[in-house]
Amino acid sequence: MKLEKVKINTEYIKLDQFLKYADIVQSGAEAKYFITENEIKVNGEIVSQRGKKLRSGDKVDINGKLYIIIN
């Protein structure tokens, strides 16, 4: 499975911000809806909090597509 790298320039990025940054959604409102309607796993655990902090090294699985946070 391909792992897409997402580079951040801060200590962390919140899940809803990540979705916009990675061009998965276009707005915060869309991110909120997307999080409730899709299975999102961070490091293997299902998350539903849009404020979940993602840090360098975290792996995000969105409907089978994998991302890794790097800085």
* Residue range 32-56, pLDDT digits in tens: 999 999 999 999 999 999 999 999 9
How high is the mean pLDDT of the chain? 95
* pLDDT, mean of residues 23-28: 95
- Distance separating alpha carbons of residues 71 and 63, to the nearest angstrom: 24
Q: What are the residues whose beta carbons fall under 8 Å from the beta carbon of 40, sequence distance 6 or more?
A: 15, 46, 47, 48, 60, 61, 62
Give the SS3 label for residue 31.
Answer: helix
Q: For 2, list phi and psi in degrees, rounded to 5.
A: -75, 135
> Could you tell me the pLDDT band of residue 1, with boundaries at 50, 70 and 90?
low
Q: How far is CA 55 from the centre of its chain?
A: 10
| pTM, to two decimals | 0.91
Strand (E) or helix (H) holding 47: strand 45-47
